[in-house]
Amino acid sequence: MATISPPSADTGIAAFRGTLPVETRDQPTADRLCAIGTAVHLAKGEQLTPDPRDDRLVYIASGCAKLVAPASLGAGAGLPIHQVLAFHFGGDLISVLRQSDGDFRLVALSDCELVIFPADRFLDLAQADPAVLRAVLTRSLQALHRSRTRMMQMGHKSAGARIADFLVSMAERLADCTAGACVFSLPMSRRDIGDSLGLTIETVSRQLTELREAGLVATEGRSKVCLCDVAALARIAGRPAAGTVKTHQI
């Protein structure tokens, strides 16, 4: 699991440098930050076990992954009810807390290039360059906002609205599309979708069928979807129309 990439795979670290604020990209601080990053390759299905003691920041250079919270519950039910907390794609910088703070894991949905930073050392270095620290803070506030918005939806929304919202949000992130029609491949299974939305696979499937019959989506094979009218889906999802925050996730 999680093989350390050969030196040639420093493309991940280079990609990370590109996300730093322009004015600090060529400063010594940038070099020091890159120096403490570990490039890692994760094959599809592999997972990144959290460090038992230290928080981490993980930059996804390429590929996509899900952040899951295993089992958790309750009366030793036995079934590993993985809740999916978020999906992440290339360019995201995410914070994975140490294992003792709730055992969240990053699982690759496709082959991934990651860069892993120990959170405390990263922040120590970033303190030398407040612009970096501020950029990280801004991202985390945006992530919080996203998470709250999502939570709000989980609260009281029907299965249909959740699926529509999921599709719209994937259209934004995977196809950079907020209206009209678009086609893309969903990298995650029906189970993952259900687990992230608090629904069963059966309900996910039924809702997709309903949208298909309504002529709003078409599917091909297991993963390819075509959203015929993103705006209509956004309406079903009960979204506050346009003007979504640019979609960075930490």
Partner DNA sequence: CGCAGTCTTGAGACAGATCAACTCACGTGG
Partner DNA sequence: CCACGTGAGTTGATCTGTCTCAAGACTGCG
Task: Give the binding site for a copy of itself (CB under 8 A).
Answer: 69, 72-74, 81, 83, 85-86, 95, 97, 100-102, 104, 123, 126-128, 130-131, 133-134, 136-137, 140-141, 143-145, 147-152, 154-156, 161, 195, 197-198, 235, 238, 240, 243, 245, 250
| Residue 145 touches which of DNA, a copy of itself, none (Cβ within 5-8 Å per kind) | a copy of itself
- Beta strand 182-185 pairing with 217-220: unpaired
Q: How far is the CB of 200 from DNA (least distance, A)?
A: 4
Q: Pinpoint the alpha helices (H) of 99-182.
A: 119-127, 130-155, 159-175
**For a copy of itself, the closer CB: 180 or 238:** 238
User: Which of 80, 49, 86, 44 has its CA nearest to residue 68?
Assistant: 86
CB-CB contact of 190 with 205 (8 Å): yes
Q: How far is the CB of 182 from DNA (least distance, A)?
A: 19
CB-CB contact of 55 with 95 (8 Å): yes
| Residue 218 touches which of a copy of itself, DNA, none (Cβ within 5-8 Å per kind) | none
**For a copy of itself, the closer CB: 150 or 173:** 150
| Residue 73 touches which of DNA, a copy of itself, none (Cβ within 5-8 Å per kind) | a copy of itself
How far is Cα 22 from Cα 155, in angstroms, rounded to an integer? 39
The DSSP string of 52-99 is SS--EEEEEEESEEEEEE----SS------PEEEEEEETT-EEEE--G
| Residue 123 touches which of DNA, a copy of itself, none (Cβ within 5-8 Å per kind) | a copy of itself
Backbone angles phi, psi at 105, to 5 degrees: -125, 150
User: Which of 38, 41, 35, 70 has its CA nearest to residue 54?
Assistant: 38
| Residue 223 touches which of DNA, a copy of itself, none (Cβ within 5-8 Å per kind) | DNA
**For DNA, the closer CB: 103 or 210:** 210
| Residue 152 touches which of a copy of itself, DNA, none (Cβ within 5-8 Å per kind) | a copy of itself
Q: Euclidean distance between the first and final Cα of the chain, in Å? A: 23
3-state secondary structure of 114: strand
**For DNA, the closer CB: 127 or 158:** 158
**For DNA, the closer CB: 157 or 248:** 157
Which residues in this chain contact DNA in the complex, by CB under 7 A? 156, 158-160, 189-191, 198-206, 208-209, 219, 221-223
Q: How far is the CB of 39 from a copy of itself (least distance, A)?
A: 23
**For DNA, the closer CB: 206 or 235:** 206
CB-CB contact of 230 with 173 (8 Å): no
| Residue 159 touches which of DNA, a copy of itself, none (Cβ within 5-8 Å per kind) | DNA
18: its two tokens:
């590109």
